[in-house]
């Protein structure tokens, strides 16, 4: 019986999540499986991979063949490196302690890279939010300044008309006074 480690689709339309399962190669994609190892959610950034690494290691060591996608995930999370190191121990190329130490060092570095990516993404998102707020504030200030300038222009247009009316009134009163003096 050929055994595969593959993905089984779950979730709703256009928002798929996957189960990482060990199944007979002849079983349908979403059908019967031997064991569920974990889940994979490609909708997050970075993609969320949760699985039982010990059971995945067990199945890889017993000969289960991962599909290309699952192979990439297992390599990303270090299961295939652990298998490689364990085969070196079996052949006598290195000791179990050295293999465990190398694996733990690699795993710590990988976890640090993943955390750095997550914090980088949150920092980028926060920076984008601050920049968007600054741009909105700048646009708001420009609109306020344009509105104030427009109101000032309207006030200035209305204000000179009033003094001109006063001047004409003064001129008419002066003219009336001069004509009254001339008549007297």
Q: How many domains does the chain have?
A: 1
Taking alpha carbons only, the member of 89, 85, 114, 90 closest to residue 102 is 85
Residue 38 structural domain: 3-67
> According to the model, what pLDDT value does residue 121 have?
87
For residue 128, tell me if it sits in a domain: no
Q: What is the 3-state secondary structure (H, E, C) of 101-166?
A: HHHHHHHHHHHHHHHHHHHHHHHHHHHHHHHHHHHHHHHHHHHHHHHHHHHHHHHHHHHHHHHHHH
pLDDT confidence of 6, banded at 50, 70, 90?
Answer: very high
pLDDT of residue 104: 93
Q: Are 22 and 4 in contact (CB under 8 A)?
A: yes
**25: in domain:** yes
pTM of the model: 0.64
| Cβ atoms < 10 Å from Cβ of 176 | 10
Answer whether residue 166 is part of any domain.
no
**Can you tell me whether residue 57 is helix, strand or coil?**
helix
Domain harbouring 23, CATH code: 3.30.1320.10
CA distance 88 to 85: 5
Rounded to an integer, what distance in angstroms lies between the CA atom of residue 88 and that of residue 96?
A: 9
Domain-embedded: residue 159 = no
CB-based contact 4:25 (threshold 8 Å):
yes
Residue 51 belongs to a domain: yes
Q: Helix, strand, coil proportions of the chain in percent (round to 5)?
A: 65, 20, 15
Residue 75 lies in a domain: no
> Is 7 part of a structural domain of the chain?
yes
- Reported as a single tens digit per residue, the pLDDT across 34-81 is 999 999 999 988 888 999 989 999 999 999 999 999 999 999 999 999
The angle formed by the CA atoms of residues 16, 34 and 59, to the nearest 5 degrees, is 95
Measured distance CA(94)–CA(102) in Å, rounded: 11
Closest to 60 measured CA to CA, from 2, 98, 1, 4: 4
Per-residue pLDDT tens digits for 89-129: 999 888 999 999 999 999 999 999 988 988 888 888 889 99
52 within domain boundaries: yes
Token duo for residue 102: 């190398």
């Amino acid at each position: 019986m050929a055994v595969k480690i593959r993905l089984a689709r779950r979730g709703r339309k256009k928002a798929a999540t996957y189960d990482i399962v060990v199944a007979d190669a002849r079983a349908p994609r979403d059908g019967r499986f031997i064991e569920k190892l974990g889940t994979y959610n490609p909708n997050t950034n970075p993609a969320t991979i949760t699985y039982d690494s010990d059971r995945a290691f067990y199945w890889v060591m017993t000969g289960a063949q991962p599909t290309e996608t699952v192979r990439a995930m297992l390599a990303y999370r270090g299961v295939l490196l652990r298998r490689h190191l364990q085969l070196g121990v079996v052949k006598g190329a290195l000791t179990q302690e050295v293999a465990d130490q190398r694996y733990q060092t690699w795993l710590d570095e990988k976890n640090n890279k993943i955390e750095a990516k997550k914090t980088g993404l949150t920092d980028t998102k926060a920076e984008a939010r601050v920049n968007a707020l600054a741009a909105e504030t700048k646009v708001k200030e420009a609109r306020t300044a344009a509105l104030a300038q427009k109101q000032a222009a309207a006030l200035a247009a209305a204000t000179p008309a009033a003094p001109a009316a006063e001047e004409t009134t003064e001129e008419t009163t002066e003219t009336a006074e001069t004509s009254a003096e001339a008549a007297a």
